[in-house]
Amino acid sequence: MPTKTSTPQTDALVIGAGPVGLFQAFQLGLLGLKVEVIDVLPQAGGQCMALYPDKPIYDVPGVPRCTGRELTSLLLEQASPFLPLDQATGQRPNLHLGQQVDSLTQFDGGWQVGTSTGWTCQARAVVIAAGAGAFVPRGLGLAELDGARNLSHRLPGEFDEAAAAGAEAPAWAGQHLVIAGGGDEALAAVLHAAQAEPAHRPARLTLLHRRDAFQAEPETEAAVRALIGAGAVQLVLGVPQGVHLEGDRIEALQLLGADGLAFDLPLDHLLVRLGLSPKLGPLTQWGLALERKQVRVDTATFASSQPGVHAVGDINTYPGKKRLLLCGFHEATLAAHAIATALNPDAPPHLLYTTTSPVLHQRLGVQG
């Protein structure tokens, strides 16, 4: 283990806090290893939270039915002994959210990880649980919007109920807010903005979509249609073609209407709500053997082609691979055992049961 540096150090670092990454943290902790987990999203849960939080899952063993959100909450609770919740801050200090792992570099004794926020950590082993890649908000496809000061993708305090409760007025309070999108995320944002307390509401609210048809839950659509009918929300139909900028501020979007005519939509703040899409991004630069953008692994240890780097869940590939939660949980278990054996070669190799082992009870903080 390296010591001549102030960079934080850990036994194992997990890239991705999706369902498999969370279970990986649990399995590593159970085997007595110190673990850190990183995810680019502001909340844990990966696809379960980003793509289907309220849809039911029926094939998790022993759980006849649970939603993506419920499964995430159960996995976090299960991993809590090793990703403990600080009651004072409401955060889990070794679960690092809202930062993308950009670099993975080898040194004598392990791997150094660097993130988009400048955080670095050294680990003796790394587990990539990156699913289909880092989830990033979909944009309007206009490069000129990059870095604009009055562009957002998230609502204040989104994914963080504690922060939402004490949230300050959003950047668009008292301004003309344009929300782009036609799905649940966009329509929910319209309701959020329109129904906020008066000091947090925009002075004018516009919903921009390419056509007069939405893909949202019927109740959400009905509520938004009622606001449009009452004149509280203006519906503008058009396809963004360009931007008028004043320095780093968007002054207006240039749109093409269904009649083929171009027009400008002036705005004070643009909230783009087109969902999330996964980007493999930096992972392709880490020198791993890939096959169709997935990490090739050995199915006994889930080791990649790089020593000390494992890959579990949707990101890996091997003969017979199935992208299912159950398979990811199995992979995480075998990866944890392989890592524990590699890091502690003198430890007794026998298997301990959570039902009967006092050692595991102590790690879990439970009475036998």
Ligand X SMILES: Cc1cc2nc3c(=O)[nH]c(=O)nc-3n(C[C@H](O)[C@H](O)[C@H](O)COP(=O)(O)OP(=O)(O)OC[C@H]3O[C@@H](n4cnc5c(N)ncnc54)[C@H](O)[C@@H]3O)c2cc1C
Residue of the chain from 11, 12, 16, 308 that contacts ligand X (CB under 6 A) = 16
| Binding-site member from 8, 52, 109, 342 for ligand X (CB under 6 A) | 52
The amino acid at 27: Q
One residue of 14, 21, 26, 302 binding ligand X per CB under 6 A = 21
Which residue, judged by CB position, is nearest to ligand X in the bound state?
Answer: 131
Of 28, 37, 46, 243, which one interacts with ligand X (CB under 6 A)? 46
Closer to ligand X by CB, 34 or 323: give it.
323
Map the chain to HEC letters: CCCCCCCCEEEEEEECCCHHHHHHHHHHHHCCCCEEEECCCCCCCHHHHHCCCCCEECCECCECCEEHHHHHHHHHHHHCCCCCCECCCCECCCEECCCCEEEEEEECCEEEEEECCCCEEEEEEEEECCCCCEEEECCCCCHHHCCCCCEECCCCCCCCHHHHHCCCCCCCCCCEEEEECCEHHHHHHHHHHHCCCHHHCCCEEEEEECCCCCECCHHHHHHHHHHHHCCCCEEEECEEEEEEEECCEEEEEEEECCCCCEEEEECCEEEECCCEEEECHHHHHCCCCEECCEEECCCCCCECCCCCEEECHHHEECCCCCCCHHHHHHHHHHHHHHHHHHHCCCCCCCCCCCCCCHHHHHHHCCCC
Question: Which residue, 21 or 238, has its beta carbon nearer to ligand X?
Answer: 21
Nearer to ligand X, 16 or 182 (CB): 16
| Distance in angstroms (rounded) separating the CA atoms of residues 190 and 348 | 58
Q: Using the rule CB under 6 A, which residue among 12, 31, 48, 187 binds ligand X?
A: 48
Site for ligand X in 88-117 (CB under 6 A): 100-101
Query: How many residues of this chain bind ligand X (CB under 6 A)?
Result: 36
- Residue 324 touches ligand X, criterion: CB under 6 A: yes
- Give the nearer residue to ligand X in terms of CB position, either 46 or 240: 46
Long-range contacts of 257-261 (CB under 8 A, 24+ apart): 258/211
Determine the interface stretch with ligand X among 34-42, 105-113, 214-222, 226-234 (rule: CB under 6 A).
34-42
Collect contacts of 355-361 with beta carbons under 8 A, ≥24 apart: 359/32, 360/30
Q: Is 156 in the site for ligand X (CB under 6 A)?
A: no
Smallest distance from the beta carbon of 278 to ligand X, in angstroms?
7
- The reply on whether position 35 binds ligand X by CB under 6 A is no
- State how far the Cα of 79 lies from the Cα of 30, in Å rounded to an integer: 9
| Alpha-carbon gap, residue 326 to 320, rounded angstroms | 14
Which one of 9, 12, 14, 18 is in contact with ligand X (CB under 6 A)?
Answer: 18
Residues 283-302 that bind ligand X (CB under 6 A): 283
Minimum CB distance to ligand X smaller for 268 or for 331: 331
Residue 107 CB, nearest approach to ligand X (Å): 19
Which amino acid, one-letter code, is at 322? K
Nearest approach in angstroms of CB 93 to ligand X is 17
- In the complex, least distance from residue 344 CB atom to ligand X, rounded to whole angstroms: 26
Q: Report the nearest approach of ligand X to the CB of residue 348 (Å).
A: 30
User: Which is closer to ligand X, CB of 154 or CB of 225?
Assistant: 154
The residue to which tokens 């889930």 are assigned: 302
Residues within window 128-147 making contact with ligand X, judged by CB under 6 A? 129-135
Taking the complex as a whole, the smallest distance from the CB of residue 10 to ligand X amounts, in Å, to 16
Pick the piece of the chain touching ligand X (CB under 6 A) from 79-87, 105-113, 119-127, 319-327. Answer: 319-327
Considering beta carbons, is residue 31 or 101 the nearer one to ligand X? 101
Stretch that binds ligand X, among 25-33, 71-79, 300-308, 324-332 (CB under 6 A): 324-332
What residue ranges bind ligand X (CB under 6 A)? 15-21, 38-41, 46-48, 51-52, 57, 59, 100-101, 129-135, 282-283, 313-314, 323-326, 328
